[in-house]
Structure 1
Amino acid sequence: MTARPTGIRIAIVDDQALVRTGFRMVLEAEPDFSVVGEAGDGAAAIELARSTAIDVMLMDVRMPVVDGIAATAAVTAAERAPRVIVLTTFDLDEYAFAAIRAGASGFLLKDVRPHELVAAIRTVHSGDATLSPRITRRMIELFAGELPAMPGAARPASAMLDTLTPREREILVAVAEGLNNAELAARFHVSESTVKTHVGRILQKLDARDRVHLVILAYEHGLLSSHGPSSEQGPSDDRR
């Protein structure tokens, strides 16, 4: 009888077998990591996600049959979908950025250091993103006008944005500006635990995957370009 994998279940998707082997060696050195599958193209990755319980999928971008962008969109659209980390050779790969818009939680360069890869997987598994909001916003500014809209990537209705309190709207904009929890706490004169509560509510109300998704939503809805100190809301309190 085969033992059930424990810990974080990971799948590796890349069209180069040597790359998959290298990642597997790094990941299997971690006692709480289990590599539960591999795929050499996007179509195989989609099938793997359907047939196997996976927590985090490492996804190459440029692959035969089905590329990583389309595969990411299909994988993340499924119920109980794994988190996807996009792998790219270039740090300014617009295709990798398109995959993030398709549902990935971040991207890593293929020459990532082993400890950084491990840390990124743990971060994504915990529900956060591997890409800082500041980098994400720069990414969107550079490429959003050039990237094709992904099928099924619906923008939230204005009514969803209207469910945010004035303070939550301000925090959304601040998150999109790249502030981390400590910086948010300092700006709004609240504790980091209060910040986490606000961010959690914003994620829930906007049906967002993570902070990276919040940056994208804020940008797409023009909240960054129109926002300035005391714009729309004026001085805010912490009302809910």
Structure 2
Amino acid sequence: MPAPRAAHVAIIMDGNGRWATNRGWPRLVGHRKGAERVKEIVRAAPDLGIEWLTIYAFSTENWKRSTEEVLGLMAIFARYIQREADRLAAEDVRMRFIGDRSRLDPKLQRLMAGIESRTAGFKRLNLTVAINYGGRDEILRAMQALARDTAEGRLDPCDITEAAVAERMDTAGLPDPDLVIRTSGETRTSNFLPWQAAYAEYEFTPTLWPDFTPAELDAILARFGNRERRFGGVVRA
């Protein structure tokens, strides 16, 4: 039986603030360093056999942080899109976003839509960025869409299947993740892809995100290849 391959890797990028605080620097310095690390991981991913990479950039709960930090993060997101657009296009990377965009600044929304449109035909790597994303919020919005379709006669309640739910999720059209990685030593999933990652393998590393390297990602992928994935069944010899 061939070793499993992690074609879709999802990452909870945690530890930017602690990385900066440990050095006596403002938290935003850590977030900027984290954005640089994203560039490096995105560049390395295809050579490691990753076809789909989903990263957790900003959760629905992150609005609780200070106004300074939130505004700084939004500026970092905008700057990343503006500065990386040409490189992503040159490297055949498709970029898209999941999460509720309605609360985001209109300028950022336009930048997001623009790069999605520009990279829509690229295939070497599918990069998905979760901004203002929360798994429960996503499921709630999908349920509301199902309720509207049912109330307006477009959907029979008997036809509400797992596939019907998945079609109304932000991740419609994306494969479920094979592997979810969380950096910084925390061992919780923090409302990230609860529907999609139901059968994903998990890896928790103590490494803070700014220190997470392609070499560590490669080592994690190697360990993933040694796992036995049964999806609730029994693997027979």
The alignment's TM-score, normalised by the length of structure 2, stands at 0.30
The alignment's TM-score, normalised by the length of structure 1, stands at 0.30
Higher relative contact order (Cα pairs below 8 Å, separated by 6+ residues): 2
